[in-house]
Structure 1
């Protein structure tokens, strides 16, 4: 499929000698049908600026621009990819800005105008850390309206997991407290070059105007982290470092001290955080 006048991605990769590097977490998605679909799943882009992390040879970048993104800011750590991305910028004048750098260190906001969405086939080695950063800013609502992100399927399942499930944990609680996450697409290993050892999935997270339940963010994060760091322990043991009367506070929050973290829902964790704060 051709979505613009640029060459197919395989030809781009060959021309620029862009073999994927495991050290950078690279697995290139070459089918422009799929990259265009991911761009559509990100929502209406015509009046939005979009942040893309790790564009590589630019498959998703082209999809975002072809679907009408007002402006795309692409952050790429691999200098080998910059000439290929420059060709895309030339084909879409004034609509693509490429920054060479580490997405964990670059501040993108000086280059963007709201409303802002994030769409990325995230490098596997930094995907979870970036998501946690987007979900835990100092102020809420965040600068982004939505996140459309590709992860390993296991990580995607952790984001949307429910209490009692094996995948349920800190990531689910952080995501579901302040956003509406859902898995919108599954991709097999064969969709990528080189094929990873695991399947992948795209998760779309829509930012809520305010958290689902009131709680002080840092205290909630600390409580959840402690609870799941020792998930096999009863909460009265896992959380004993939070307060000397932790059993009383658990009971006051509607939680049995003998419960384990994996059985406790978001509303109860928020209630516990409020009890601890008071």
Structure 2
């Protein structure tokens, strides 16, 4: 029986199974197994965890996760062409890889994962941000996962880790940093991928906090942040007027100058504003 280390090079696997990357599926394959091993290591100790991988493609990162000792990997793949290559990996790691054919936005994974759970993926670019927002905004917190180690376009990664006053500070940074520690752990140039995308990529590692950094109602906070950044060049007293007619009183209570813009407001004060509106 083949072992993970005995599997053929990914380029050979792609050629044998005819796995040309499809733009419609947001596919850019990462073939360098040294890089996929780095991403797997960035996810931390996997030996006692189930790992959820979205969009494994021909299985480069899948191999890295298994080689790093992941207890069990659940890989969700929409492209049926990739399934034979993934099943070859499953045969080389008996009982440690479950391959699920389906759309990650709709498939139910509850019965396939045993806590603790870590998510690690080179996310398809066309659904990456939507998946991240879903994972950051579950009905209950803490979530079903302990950490996320995810590949994004560089600009999306910068939006996740941005700080107040920076041009990328916005809704995504607030959603991520309210409930997580977030940092960029690896940068990759376009030529690392097949085919090369037009932009650089980065791997972001997010660790779930036991509780949000500051108390706030999630729905109200999300609404305030969305309204503030949807019209980010407007003063907050104008962009938030649709939320409450006496918005200037709430802004003052939260320690926010009504003439400020959303990009200058830190997480603490956004949460304070959400609490004021809740009252």
TM-score (norm 2): 0.98
Are residue 182 (structure 1) and residue 183 (structure 2) matched? Answer: yes
Q: Distance in 2 between matches of 1:41 and 1:166?
A: 27
Structure 2 residue aligned with 1:109: 110
Determine the structure 2 residue equivalent to 1:210: 211
Structure 2: gaps spanning 5 or more residues: none
Which residue in 1 is equivalent to 2:27? 26
* Per-residue Cα deviation, 1:132-158 (whole angstroms, up to 9, x for no partner): 000000000000000000000000000
Match of 1:156 in 2: 157
1:107 Cα offset (Å): 1.6
CA distance in 2, matches of 1:3, 1:69: 12
Q: What is the alpha-carbon distance in structure 1 between the residues aligned to residue 4 and residue 17 of structure 2? A: 20
Report deviation, 1:215. Answer: 0.2
Partner of 2:78: 77
Deviations 1:214-251 (A, max 9, x none): 00011101110010000000000000011111001100
TM value normalised by structure 1: 0.99
* Alignment check: 8 A CA contact 1:3 1:32 kept: no
Runs of 4+ in 1 over 3 A off after TM superposition: none
Are 1:20 and 1:193, in contact at CA under 8 Å, matched by a contact in 2?
Answer: yes
Q: Distance in 2 between matches of 1:107 and 1:178?
A: 24
Shift of 1:3: 6.2
Q: CA deviation at 1:256?
A: 0.5
CA contact (8 A) 1:85 1:98 kept: yes
Is 1:6–2:7 an aligned residue pair?
yes
Query: Aligned-pair distance for 1:108?
Result: 1.1
2:172 aligned counterpart, secondary structure: helix
Separation in 2 of the partners of 1:38 and 1:253?
Answer: 40
**Count of equivalent residues:** 277
What are structure 1's unaligned runs of at least 5 residues?
Answer: none
Cα distance in structure 1, aligned partners of 2:13 and 2:214 = 48
Q: Is the 8 A contact 1:145 1:207 kept in 2?
A: yes
